[in-house]
Amino acid sequence: MHHAEHVMGTVVSIDLADDLPEDTLRGLVGDVCAWLHEVDERFSTYREDSEVCRFRRRELTLEECSPDMRLVLDACADLWRSTDGYFDAYAAGPLDPSGFVKGWSVEVASARLAAAGSTHHCINAGGDIRARGLSSSGKPWRVGIRHPWEADKLSWVLSLADAAVATSGTYERGDHVFNPRTGKPARGLRSVTVVGPDLALADAYATTALAMGTPGIEWLAKLIPDGYESAVVTDDARAFTTPNLPAAV
């Protein structure tokens, strides 16, 4: 079953390849969509009444925040430390945890699907993907990485059985990632893709490397022991990949 849902300012494509009754699959898709809308209502920086905006305006104290909100704030603080300050939910000014929330919400959605009996699925949230099991062809999921200049072309094709893929780039929404050290838009890298076990972290790592610029290429190499492979394209069209990027053959 395939479904595309407009939510979180983008489109989330849900692909369930399980051999389950149609009604069951429809129910699972409904659960995922309900969760994503709940996340959007809570964490959107565009909704004045969202919990993030109310926390920004100090209408809520940390103790009054929901458990999910506190989990996200904790995770952002951990990432800020582990990335030497380059992953910064305050990089653009007021609190904006979006760089963590989208990946995290899809990781949670996928875990919930698995717990509910769907072990073969792929969720793509505006370019950030969590794949599990096999596609309906009975083979691992084939995931393309968009070419950073040619929108209808792919620069790599991956084969994934159980992994997350996140890409951050400057080509789609312009200068939306800032280098917290300079306060200026990130420069040097055009596209950063990180593949690994957890989409929340893969997404945050891709954003971090993009914020770092070309030093981000060296930094990504340090993530290999943790199971995170990567593929990078620089502003001057050089491409870099880690040795074990799961490329499709």
Partner 1 sequence: MRRSTAAAVGTLTGAALIIGVRLSVSTPPVTAAAPPAIDLSGNGQDDTAAPEPSASKKGGSDKAAESSSESSSDKDASADKDSSSGEAGGSGLKNGVFQGTGSKNPYGTIQVSIKITGGKITAADATYPTTADSATINPPAIKKLNEETVKAQSADVDAVSGATFTSESYVKSLQAAIDKATP
Contact segment (CB under 8 A) with partner 1 among 68-76, 89-97, 105-113, 135-143 equals: 135-143
Contact segment (CB under 8 A) with partner 1 among 58-66, 104-112, 178-186, 235-243 equals: 235-243
Instruction: State yes or no: residue 37 binds partner 1 (CB under 8 A).
Output: no
Cα-based angle 209, 211, 215 (whole degrees, multiple of 5):
55
Of 41 and 64, the one with the shorter C-beta distance to partner 1 is 41
Shortest distance, position 198 Cβ to partner 1, whole Å: 15
Of 54 and 162, the one with the shorter C-beta distance to partner 1 is 162
Quote the CA–CA distance of 172 and 24 in Å, as a whole number. 36
Provide the sign of the torsion angle of the four alpha carbons 85, 86, 87, 89, taken in this order.
positive
Among 128, 178, 179, 211, binds partner 1 (CB under 8 A): 128
Of 42 and 102, the one with the shorter C-beta distance to partner 1 is 102
Instruction: State yes or no: residue 224 binds partner 1 (CB under 8 A).
Output: yes
Element (H, E) at 162: strand 162-169
Cα 136 to its chain centre, rounded Å, is: 23
Among 34, 77, 111, 157, binds partner 1 (CB under 8 A): 157
Instruction: State yes or no: residue 241 binds partner 1 (CB under 8 A).
Output: yes
Sheet of 2-7, strand order: 2-7, 10-16, 121-125, 128-132, 162-169, 189-196, 229-234
Phi then psi dihedrals of residue 193, to 5 deg: -115, 130
**Who's near 53: CB < 8 A, 6+ residues apart?**
44, 45, 47
Instruction: At 151, list the tokens.
Output: 């929108």
Among 62, 115, 151, 249, binds partner 1 (CB under 8 A): 151
C-alpha dihedral, 49 to 53 to 54 to 55, nearest 10°: 150
Shortest distance, position 161 Cβ to partner 1, whole Å: 12
Phi then psi dihedrals of residue 61, to 5 deg: -90, 170
The helix/strand/coil state of 185 is strand
Instruction: State yes or no: residue 170 binds partner 1 (CB under 8 A).
Output: yes
Among 104, 156, 205, 228, binds partner 1 (CB under 8 A): 156
Instruction: State yes or no: residue 96 binds partner 1 (CB under 8 A).
Output: no
Task: Please say whether the beta carbons of 117 and 20 come within 8 A.
Answer: yes
Binding to partner 1, residues 2-31 (CB under 8 A): 2, 4, 6, 9-11, 13, 15
> Which residues contact partner 1 (rule: CB under 8 A)?
2, 4, 6, 9-11, 13, 15, 102, 122, 124, 126-129, 131, 135, 141-148, 150-158, 165-173, 191, 193, 217-218, 220-222, 224-225, 230, 232-233, 237-243, 248
